[in-house]
Amino acid sequence: MQVYLEGLNEQQREAVLHRDGPIMIVAGAGSGKTKVLTTRIAHLLATGVDPFNILALTFTNKAAAEMKERVEHILGNNEARNIYIGTFHSVFARILRAEAEKLGYPRNFTIYDTDDAKSVVKTVVNELGLDDKHYKPNTVYNRISSAKNALITPEEYINDYGLQQEDMRSNRPMIGQIYDAYCKRCYKNGAMDFDDLLLKFYLLLKTHPESLSKYQRKFKYIMIDEYQDTNTAQYQIIKLLGAMHENVAVVGDDAQSIYSFRGATIENILQFQKDYDEVKVVMLEQNYRSSQSILHVANNVIANNKGQLPKKLWTSNAEGEKIKLVRTATDNDEGKYVADAIQEQKLRNHYRNNDFAILYRTNAQSRSFEESLRRMNIAYRIYGGISFYQRKEIKDFLSYLRVILNPGDEEALKRIINFPARGIGKTSVEKAVLFANQNNVSMWNVLGQAAQFGYKASTLEVINNFVIMIKMFQSELQKKNAYDLSILVGKNTGLVKELFNDKTTEGLARYENIQELLNSIKEFTETPTEDGELLDKSLGSYLQQITLLTDADDDKGESDVVKLMTIHAAKGLEFPVVFVGGLEETLFPNAMSINTREELEEERRLFYVAITRAKQRLWLTYANTRYRFGNLTQNDPSRFIEELPEERLDRAFAGGNMRNNQSNQWNSFDKAKTGFRTSSQENRSATKEKPAYMVTSPVVKIKEHTPTEGFTPSDTSNLQEGQKIEHQKFGFGEVIKMEGAAHNPVATVKFEHNGEKKIMLNYAKLRIVE
């Protein structure tokens, strides 16, 4: 028997040894999925498959890197470097580079990140004479993104009755036209957004039979990780690519499908067996990760969902400790409690910072945890949020590099044309864009022939200097590698100097960030590429790589830190000790996702993912009150709490002061299955007891109001001017004005004691008095 097969259980071995024909591996949480995938690849290679014929697709760069590393480890050689292992986006981007001209794109096409894309949407909305307050870039972009992920072209969108109806209903009938204009603008800019990397690749395969057969022949063995999260575009691509050999192996877990908001359809995994004549199905049901208690709780939770692939996860691990379910008075107390618990665990059970993860539903929740950890001097790192590459100074610098490579990239050009300031102001830029649109050329072309467009002499001169500088950089493109060119750019543009001269704290941070960027470019040019295919150290090669990187990907140092991230970001990871915060109604499950059974089930799967990240110990926490939108809100405990098996729980309450914790046990009043009702009295006294350092802000002078007995929020969807209402904190008042978008109405209320306030009805709880 091959050495690599040792240590696999029966099902895992079955999955590895099945060489030809479609196979679906249903891999429960912690069941050794990556091990199976990597061993499978090793087995293919060991039995004579050429590494060039293998394609393995993942969702994150991290997963791809790990897979590559582990295959190499099993094989003990570097054959793996010739395998196409990468994310959907990066692998397709690489192929699209090579085939760009067939689709009419420049080889050096730019990849627009979400910010770039939204900016283009805004530009286009304005150019169509529409109001970007109503056609919000965010909303419109999401709509376009969904269309692309469903492989719907602008023409199809405009002609689709259902979609048009939806847009009519939301009073945004022009989205189809915006979509069309957006695509045209991206094309003109020589740019693809994230979704294009899938969509255009699909179109390439669909419209160029020779390309299709080329890649079908190349990718004889295809492996897909996290199949439950694929969207329609990805699904169709896999189907096309795999049609010739049908050696498609998909690995996934329907219970962990959490990306439907991004177009993923759980149907893809539920239907896989019907896509091919004979599908081998293997269930991996033994969990090697978690304690029995943790797994038991997870199983209980997910059992509340309908329509799952039938399976029962089990483990031979130790029973482990009970799950701690902790209620706190406020979100700050929650943060404090978690930081204290980490400290205590470190002392008592010899954990290191690295062993802990704090998971939450929304990024905004990180704040209270952050503050407490900082106060306790516990090192931490937040994953997600603004990534390094989205920072302003980094984007500015990268925009220079983008323009050098693809001067058609109008977004980048607009960013840098007057940064650092060189006297090309807003009006000059607007003029250039206008000329470009009128003459159907790029903005760069207009700048190159600025003399013909009637700029005044002084402006003309600075424009020409700018153009000459960029052209000079371009002429170095062939001669210099990415790093040397970047240094040249930094010097000649004065960008680095400008930041260096800024001695404010932020300026210093920005300067350091630029240095860090330059370091990473240097590292890129000095590390041998693993692609085998090309040892390309050019700027183009660099830019392609980094656009698809996210914050989670650069584990710089991987030092000993507590990790904070959203549950979404934690998928695929595991930690010895996990804290899941904010188990409250409207937060988790999120208010946005409780309208349909499907949405609620996805939230529950998310909770399942959170629980199953834990190996040894698990804490679930929730707060009575928490600041949201600057308003103190009260939330009921999450409905998911009721789905936890009582016998595996260890309940506790933590007020403002941890030391009183032991004596302050969960009482029978709170334990009532109906969820506890916090009286405002109890609530406020808890707030008052907070030590001074925990007070969040210089308190706004509000005349505190005690809600009426049995305060229940009313349905405010038809709230009218003139109505009388009661607000939990501000008291009684009269609605004097209604405004805001239909889905986000805002009421101006004149309160008896607290003046006029604007209240967002989506978030505030109001009781209609009359």
Q: Contact 260/266 with Cβ under 8 angstroms? A: yes
671 labelled ligand-binding: no
Closer residue to DNA (CB): 515 or 696: 696
Nearest to 294 by CA among 312, 313, 320: 320
Catalytic residue list contains 643: no
DSSP code at position 1: -
32 labelled ligand-binding: yes
Catalytic residue list contains 739: no
27 labelled ligand-binding: yes
Q: Tokens at residue 188, please?
A: 């003109």
Query: Among 180, 225, 331, 411, which one carries the catalytic annotation?
Result: 225
- Site for DNA, rule CB under 7 A: 59-61, 87-89, 113-114, 132-133, 136, 138, 194, 258, 261-262, 362-364, 367, 384, 418, 421, 423-428, 548, 550-552, 565-566, 568-569, 590-593, 627-630, 696-698, 700, 740, 744, 746, 758, 760
User: Min. distance of Cβ 330 from DNA in angstroms?
Assistant: 12
Query: Among 11, 12, 13, 33, which one carries the catalytic annotation?
Result: 33
The phi and psi torsions of 362 (rounded to 5 degrees) equal: -125, 150
Alpha-carbon separation of residue 596 from 142, 600, 610, 715, 745 (angstroms): 20, 6, 21, 18, 22
User: Min. distance of Cβ 360 from DNA in angstroms?
Assistant: 9
Query: Among 70, 200, 414, 613, which one carries the catalytic annotation?
Result: 613
Query: Among 11, 39, 87, 256, which one carries the catalytic annotation?
Result: 256
Closer residue to DNA (CB): 61 or 624: 61
Closer residue to DNA (CB): 590 or 708: 590
- How far is residue 300's CA from residue 293's CA, in Å, rounded to a whole number? 11
Place of tokens 């400790």: 321
User: Min. distance of Cβ 762 from DNA in angstroms?
Assistant: 8
- How far is residue 556's CA from residue 573's CA, in Å, rounded to a whole number? 17
Q: Contact 656/685 with Cβ under 8 angstroms? A: no
- How far is residue 416's CA from residue 420's CA, in Å, rounded to a whole number? 7
User: Min. distance of Cβ 259 from DNA in angstroms?
Assistant: 7
494 labelled ligand-binding: no
Catalytic residue list contains 554: no
Closer residue to DNA (CB): 136 or 172: 136
Closer residue to DNA (CB): 26 or 573: 573
DSSP code at position 731: E
Catalytic residue list contains 648: no
Closer residue to DNA (CB): 87 or 232: 87
User: Min. distance of Cβ 671 from DNA in angstroms?
Assistant: 29
31 labelled ligand-binding: yes
Rg (CA), the chain: 28
Closer residue to DNA (CB): 247 or 365: 365
Query: Among 99, 113, 226, 585, which one carries the catalytic annotation?
Result: 226
User: Min. distance of Cβ 368 from DNA in angstroms?
Assistant: 10
Q: Contact 106/190 with Cβ under 8 angstroms? A: yes
Residue 716: other Cβ atoms inside 10 A: 19
190 labelled ligand-binding: no
Does residue 528 have a cis peptide bond before it, meaning omega lies within 30 degrees of 0?
no
- How far is residue 310's CA from residue 304's CA, in Å, rounded to a whole number? 13
Query: Among 14, 34, 529, 684, which one carries the catalytic annotation?
Result: 34
- How far is residue 8's CA from residue 39's CA, in Å, rounded to a whole number? 9
Beta bridge partners of 650: 324
- State the number of CA atoms in the 13 A half-sphere of 410 facing the CB: 26
Catalytic residue list contains 613: yes
Task: Name residue 741's amino acid.
Answer: A
- How far is residue 728's CA from residue 713's CA, in Å, rounded to a whole number? 9
- How far is residue 248's CA from residue 237's CA, in Å, rounded to a whole number? 12
Catalytic residue list contains 225: yes
Q: Contact 668/718 with Cβ under 8 angstroms? A: no
User: Min. distance of Cβ 694 from DNA in angstroms?
Assistant: 13
Question: Hey, which residues are catalytic here?
Answer: 33-34, 225-226, 256, 613
Binding residues: 27-34
Binding residues for ATP: 27-34
